Structure 1
Amino acid sequence: MEQRELQLLVENISVELFGKPFKHIASFNPRLRSTGGRYLLGTHNIEINKKYLDELGEEELIGIIKHELCHYHLHLEGKGYQHRDQEFKSLLKKVGAPRFCTQLPGKKGRSSSKKILLYQCTKCQLSYQRRKSIDTSRYVCGKCKGKLMKVKEVILEKQ
């Protein structure tokens, strides 16, 4: 799909589902990595991640376009266009747009695995679980002020 085809698709979806024209530019942005698309508040343009079309197909692309058009039309009307706004949520439902896009295959997301670090005090044997690593030369046990030692690192896979 070329830029011109994307522009026509966005314009058609806007008129069919929202009953309003899309008067700005829709384009593919190859720099987008973690999102399917974005609506730019300053220019009112919409940028789409082409990888979603290539890897997940046109149906996913149309869902992303609907989502971005919800931001677009609500912002231009001066209504709540942010993800947390009730007007945005209800318009998403009305047009059948997804709230979030599907994760790209083979892409590790933040929620795909969880790392837990286990530390233990060498003096009183108190255990600590942390998500971020601790500088054991700087921090000590909160109970007895003993030296901390890293015991192990556990990676939990979410399904």
Structure 2
Amino acid sequence: MEQKELQLLVEKISVELFEKPFKHKASFNPRLRSTGGRYLLGTHNIEINKKYLEQLGEKELVGIIKHELCHYHLHLEGKGYQHRDQEFKMLLKKVGAPRFCTQLPERKVKRSAIKILLYQCAKCKLSYERKRSIDTSKYVCGSCRGKLTKMKEIILE
């Protein structure tokens, strides 16, 4: 799908579902990473993440366009256009738009292994478990101010 096809699709959805024209620019933005699209308040343009079309298909793209058009039309009418606003939630439900887009398969983080670091005070023998490493030259025991030493690293599956 090219920019022109996207523009025509947005205009078509706007007229069919909202019964109002979309008079601004819709485009693909390759810099978008964590969101399916965004409505720009200053220019009233809509930017779409093309990865959603490529990885999840046209149905997901149409959902994102509906969502961004909800922001667009409510903002132009001076109504509540933010996610938390009741008018926005009602319009989403009316047109069948998702509140949030599906997460891209490539963005899902696999957290199978958890690393735990064990430190012990050389003076009072108090043990500390941490997920992040500690600079032992900078930090000392919170109980007796003794020197900390790294004992071992445990990896949990």
Task: Decide whether aligned partners of structure 1 residues 116 and 134 sit closer, same or farther in structure 2, where only a CA change above 3 A counts.
Answer: same
> Following TM superposition, where does structure 1 have runs of at least 4 consecutive aligned residues deviating by more than 6 angstroms?
none
Task: Decide whether aligned partners of structure 1 residues 51 and 126 sit closer, same or farther in structure 2, where only a CA change above 3 A counts.
Answer: same
% same residue: 73
| TM-score calculated relative to the size of structure 1 | 0.81
Aligned residues: 153
Q: Tell me the CA shift for residue 31 of structure 1.
A: 1.7
User: 1:46-68: per-residue Cα shift (whole Å, max 9, x none)?
Assistant: 01111111111000000110111
1:66 touches 1:97 (CA, 8 Å); kept in 2?
A: yes
Select the structure of larger CA radius of gyration: 2
Distance 2:147 2:73 in 1: 58
2:117 touches 2:133 (CA, 8 Å); kept in 1?
A: no
| TM-score calculated relative to the size of structure 2 | 0.82
In structure 2, the gaps of 5 or more residues are: none
2:77 is aligned with what amino acid? E
Aligned to 1:96: 96
2:54 is aligned with what amino acid? D
User: 1:12-64: per-residue Cα shift (whole Å, max 9, x none)?
Assistant: 11122222211100011122222111111110000111111111100000011
1:119 touches 1:148 (CA, 8 Å); kept in 2?
A: no
User: 1:87-145: per-residue Cα shift (whole Å, max 9, x none)?
Assistant: 22222222221122112223344xx5385643433233332334x44333212222222
Aligned to 1:75: 75
Distance 1:46 1:155 in 2: 44
Distance 2:147 2:85 in 1: 48
Aligned to 2:14: 14
> Superposition RMSD on alpha carbons, in Å?
2.3
Task: Classify the secondary structure of the residue corresponding to 1:144.
Answer: coil
Aligned to 1:113: 111
Aligned to 2:38: 38
Aligned to 1:125: 126
